[in-house]
Structure 1
Amino acid sequence: MNVYLVTRAGLERHDAAAVAALRHRSDGFVWVDVPAGDPDTEHLLATLFGFHPLAVKDALERNRLPKMHAYPDCVLVILHGPEPGARGHVHYLELDQFIGHDYLITVHGPVNPAVDPASAERETVAVLNRLESGRLTVESPLELSHAIVTALTRTLEEYLEQATADVWRLEQQVTGGHVGHPEQFLEELFRVRHGLLAVRTMAALSGAIYGRLAALDGLPDGHTPLVSDNADQFARVRRLADGEREYLQGVIEFYHGLLTLRATTAAARQSEEVQRLTEASYAQSEEVKKISSWAAIFFAPSLVAAVYGMNFDHMPELHWLLGYPFALALMVASGVGLHRVFKKRRWL
């Protein structure tokens, strides 16, 4: 862990063993920055500072929601910051603060193994660099906390800035007709939307925490505006995220409308093709009927002629005087009869 004595003259680095002695210094206050997974965290919080067991438990475990608890000697504030992950996932980086009248303890909560531990300390390192360079001076733990939380809201804004760039790029792809594979494009749309929703949720919940903190009695004189400023910062990020989310929703709806129009057009073309094939099949069926009808008409006389054309010695009516006219009449009658039957059925 990193131990500092913050004075008007600047910043002094000390060993962890000097924490108890530094608390008795009247020329400044103690800032202890505890990285994630530090084995001495529980001893620091429970023994050296004597915090409530529930407060120690909150600092050691992962908290899925921001929270604020006011104790007689300090205020515990738990916040989250975003860290982009693989396939659009947003990691929640936890920052816990114990804000007392003569100390500030920042504890970086458990970090996902997929996240660089240095990312969790981004805000505190940024503030530390400003203090060491003289670009920032603070006179109380609450002022230092205000600077750290301001750095956290800048992280939210930077994430929102990148998400906005993605929204604009996706909107240009939609309006330009260069969306590529629909499934991949829709997946990218919803990844960006997920990021905006994550930032919006962080800002909204953190803003509610600082709104409640600003209403607490017992804040040092002149420090309530600092807490209110942090609340306003979170509210601004939430409004920006809402605006970009609505803009992206418009892009999604526009793209959905294009997909619907394309699907309707394709369905209409397919319906026309099916209708054309149906009409062709119907016409082909009618032609088959006609061909079959004429084939049957000509088959009947051919059958009679074939039977009477056989040269057997013993055949009925072979020597009958009217046999030939009868055969011709039978051929004509069978053909005419079949023609009438098929005509009645509208096959001809």
Structure 2
Amino acid sequence: MTRAGVERHPVEALGELLRRVSAGPDTVGADGGAESSVGATRAEDDAGFVWVDIPSCEKNAERVLLDVFGFHPRAVHDCAERNLVAKTHSYADHVFVVLHGPEQGENGHVHYIELDQFIGRHFLVTVHGPLNPAVEPSVALRETSSVLERMDAGRLRPTSAFELSHAIVLALAASQERFVEALTADVWGLEQRVNAGHLGEPEPFLDELFRARHGLLAARTISALNRETYVRLMSRAWALPPRVRPLLAEITDEFEQVRGLADVQREYLQGVIEFYRTRIDTKMTIAAERLAVIAAITLPITAVSSIYGMNIIVNTRTRPEQLIIVLIAMAAMSAALLRWAKRRDWW
């Protein structure tokens, strides 16, 4: 594959650029502009393709998707709105794919970063879905920007739109794996604190445990849904050229690996949570047993004092030796009960 320099093309020129590439143009490329990143490449055995990266599907971008590329209105609507799950649709000359990636937010919240793709023979259009205002826009462009940098440096030379999509999705899977690795480090730290006994207040510590578990569950869910999307895409052989199937199989394996990692760490964390709960329950049981022993030891004192009441103290006929005898009897009964509790390992 040959590749010329880097140029910028306004959104309005996409129609002409697409027609040139379909007819077999010279090789050109482009980096990110204000509206979108637009590029075109040409392989030796194909007519070439255009890559359009749209940071946000606003009205102008919707017009390009509808009028220039002629995409289905439902697919364009999916680009403009947030999609809760990953999915794919096949059309006559292209496929539409919706994927997600996790991004850690505040207070344990996990943001779903959406990446939409239109993949055809002569084009790849990547659209970044609506973002939560709390997420930096650069987060959504992380994978496409890294792929563009690799292309500019000559480390990546895709010969088709599916190869370029393959590179972008593998970068997305790698980001998900790093997300799981970061949570794994948190899990190990929590496990060390449990084993060392430095737990602090139970409620904040349990909150940390459950936040880590939520992050792993979110990563597992996202990877599983992304994988199922590509499994469905692989089943549609009529919509894909044969050389694309190995690329889809590799993507499926990558998402399966991330899902497996998240599952393993989630199970490990569940073991840490159960161990922590067991330690807390054991401490509460020991405390309850000791309180019960204390209540049993003080029972004779309560019984004797309830019988005699205040009469021994306030009665003028009560002699001091009588009060001493009663106190000695109370102490003797309590000591006998304490000795009996120790013999039974209750104290």
Q: Specify if TM > 0.5.
A: yes
- Specify the alignment match of 2:61 in structure 1: 41
1:34 Cα offset (Å): 0.2
What is residue 13 of structure 1 aligned with on the other side? 7
What is the one-letter code of the residue matched to 1:102?
Answer: H
1:134-213 equivalences in 2 (<5 Å): 134-213=154-233
**What is the alpha-carbon distance in structure 2 between the residues aligned to residue 11 and residue 83 of structure 1?**
34
Distance 1:10 1:65, change over 3 A: farther
Equivalence for 1:228: 249
1:53: how far off?
A: 1.0
The structure whose Rg is larger is: 1
Are the counterparts in 2 of residues 8 and 139 from structure 1 also a CA contact under 8 Å? no
RMSD: 2.1
Aligned to 2:124, what secondary structure does the other structure show?
A: strand
Distance in 2 between the 1:83 and 1:123 partners?
13
The structure 1 residue matched to 2:137, chosen from 90, 111, 117, is 117
Could you tell me which residue of structure 2 aligns to residue 238 of structure 1? 259
Task: Determine helix, strand or coil for the equivalent of 1:14.
Answer: coil
Deviates more, 1:166-175 or 1:48-57: 48-57
How far the C-alpha of 1:141 sits from its partner, in A, is: 0.5
Instruction: Quote the offset at 1:289 in angstroms.
Output: 9.5
Deviation, 1:269, is 1.4
Equivalent-residue separation in structure 2 for 1:62 and 1:249 (angstroms): 31
CA pair 172-157 structure 1, distance change in 2 beyond 3 A: same
Alpha-carbon distance in 2 for matches of 1:48, 1:21: 9
Q: Structure 1 pair 228/272, CA: closer, same or farther in 2 (3 Å)?
A: same
TM-score, normalised relative to structure 1: 0.80
SS of 2:156's equivalent in the other structure is coil
> Contact conserved, 1:67 with 1:77, CA < 8 A, in 2?
yes
Correspondence for 2:285: 264
- Find the aligned partners of 2:84 and 2:243 in 1 and give their Cα distance: 32
What SS does the aligned partner of 1:198 have? helix
Paired with 1:14 and 1:290, the residues of 2 have a C-alpha distance of 102
| One-letter amino acid of the structure 1 residue matched with residue 15 of structure 2 | A
Task: Establish whether residue 73 from structure 1 lines up as the match of residue 93 from structure 2.
Answer: yes
Q: What amino acid maps onto 1:17 in structure 2?
A: E
How many residue pairs get matched? 291
Trace 1:185-334 onto structure 2 (pairs within 5 A). 185-217=205-237, 218-288=239-309
Distance 2:72 2:59 in 1: 19
- Segment of structure 1 superposing worse, 243-252 or 40-49: 40-49
Report percent identity of matched pairs: 48
Asked if residue 132 in structure 1 is aligned to residue 126 in structure 2, the reply is no
- Partner amino acid, structure 1, of 2:252: A
Indicate conservation of the 8 Å contact 1:68/1:209, yes or no: yes
**TM-score under structure 2 length normalisation:** 0.80
Aligned to 1:22: 17
User: 2:58 & 2:145 partners in 1: Cα distance?
Assistant: 17
Structure 2 residues not aligned, in runs of 5+: 25-41, 43-47, 319-347
Cα 1:106/1:254, change in 2 over 3 Å: same
Which one-letter code corresponds to 1:42 in the other structure?
E
Cα deviation for residue 276 of structure 1 reads 2.6
Partner-residue secondary structure (3-state), 2:158: coil
CA contact (8 A) 1:8 1:138 kept: no
The alignment partner of 1:40 has SS state of helix
Shift of 1:296: 9.8
Q: Which amino acid aligns with 2:234?
A: A
Give yes or no for contact 1:160–1:241 (8 Å, CA) kept in 2: yes
Following superposition, the deviation at residue 83 of structure 1 comes to 1.0
**Corresponding residue SS for 1:112:** coil
Amino acid across the alignment from 1:228 = A
Q: 5+ residue gaps in structure 1?
A: 1-6, 298-348
2:277 & 2:75 partners in 1: Cα distance? 48
Q: For the Cα contact (< 8 Å) 1:11–1:131, is it kept in 2? A: no
